[in-house]
Amino acid sequence: MKKYLFLLLLTLPLFSEKGAGIGQKLGDTVPLDLTFINEQAKEVTLRELMDGKPTLLTLNYYRCAGVCSPQLEELAATLSKVQLAENLDYKVITVGFAEDEDISLAITKKKNIISSMTRHYVQDAWQFVLGENNSSGKLAQSVGFKYKAMKMENGDLGYIHGASVVMISPEGKITRYLNGINQLPADITMAIKEASEGKVRQSIPRNNSPFCFTERPEAGLMVNNITRMAGVLSVIALLVLFFFFLRRGRKK
């Protein structure tokens, strides 16, 4: 019976994504002097990008075929409904952590996302930038955003990563995490207002925190979902076997 228990324990890692995830660092301060490349191909600091405003931060890579586009599209839809003045009350920064990408990808992504919004949105309020000299990696580490590089079938680099909006106060303090793809306008509004006051609040638990797994870009999330389903089914099968042999042992 011990060998079946051992097999069961071996399957537990199937529920996690090794090397990827979001470890919350509420109350920590992000390094505001990190430099990035903006849409004008100029070097700017995180401090300059935030401009003393509460800031919604997302970390993505622009050729992502998984959760990145849905996350940004849903955020755009939510911000369209937020009754606060972008660029005055808050900023949004999307950082591309794949530093082998070109700024043209960031510009194209921004154009697509902004054009999807249902009202006029001040373009300067949402900056799409690229990291340089591992600044994106350092920023990701400071907010607990872990991603794992991998080779895709076409030879390009892909990444396993989660989806979260990190709320940062004007002083650079991490005040809240809004995990997953779908956010409520009320949650975003409250997060911005509390960040402006420097208030730290625990994240609202959600069950919609997918991982991006793009080893096969044409399959996108389907690959990850199938992988997870296979893992769950394996665990269920082993549980059935475990209890079967447990009962059998008791009868003997």
CA distances from 129 to 1, 39, 99 (A): 55, 6, 10
- In terms of C-beta density within 10 A (0-12 exposed, 13-18 middle, 19 or more buried), how is residue 119 classed? exposed
212 known member of a binding site? no
How far is the C-alpha of 132 from the C-alpha of 142, rounded, in Å?
16
User: What per-residue confidence (pLDDT) applies to 11?
Assistant: 40
How far is the C-alpha of 141 from the C-alpha of 139, rounded, in Å?
5
Task: Of 93, 187, 170, give the one whose Cα is nearest residue 139.
Answer: 93
Beta-bridge partners for 164: 179
User: What per-residue confidence (pLDDT) applies to 217?
Assistant: 36
User: What per-residue confidence (pLDDT) applies to 26?
Assistant: 94
User: What per-residue confidence (pLDDT) applies to 8?
Assistant: 38
Write the single-letter amino acid at 203: S
Q: Which residues in the chain are classed under CATH 3.40.30.10? A: 18-212
How far is the C-alpha of 6 from the C-alpha of 245, rounded, in Å?
13
DSSP 43-55: EEEHHHHHTTS-E
User: From its phi and psi, is residue 49 left (phi > 0), alpha (psi between -120 and 50) or beta?
Assistant: alpha
User: What per-residue confidence (pLDDT) applies to 216?
Assistant: 39
User: What per-residue confidence (pLDDT) applies to 231?
Assistant: 52
The pLDDT profile of the chain, 252 residues, written as one tens digit per residue, is: 444 434 433 343 333 445 567 888 999 999 999 999 999 999 999 999 999 999 999 999 898 877 888 999 999 999 999 999 999 999 999 999 887 889 999 999 999 999 999 999 999 999 999 999 999 999 999 999 988 777 766 666 777 878 899 999 999 999 999 998 889 999 999 999 999 999 999 876 554 444 444 433 333 333 344 444 545 555 676 677 766 666 666 655
68 known member of a binding site? yes
- The tens digit of pLDDT for each residue in 155-172 reads 667 778 788 999 999 999
Which numeric CATH code is attached to 18-212?
Answer: 3.40.30.10
Task: Please tell me what DSSP assigns to residue 24.
Answer: -
104: its two tokens: 């043209």
User: What per-residue confidence (pLDDT) applies to 240?
Assistant: 72
Task: Of 162, 211, 168, 204, give the one whose Cα is nearest residue 186.
Answer: 204
pTM for the complete prediction? 0.75
120 known member of a binding site? no
CA distances from 182 to 36, 70, 74, 104, 206 (A): 27, 9, 6, 27, 9
User: What per-residue confidence (pLDDT) applies to 213?
Assistant: 45
User: What per-residue confidence (pLDDT) applies to 154?
Assistant: 67
User: What per-residue confidence (pLDDT) applies to 166?
Assistant: 96
How far is the C-alpha of 191 from the C-alpha of 203, rounded, in Å?
10
Task: Please tell me what DSSP assigns to residue 86.
Answer: B
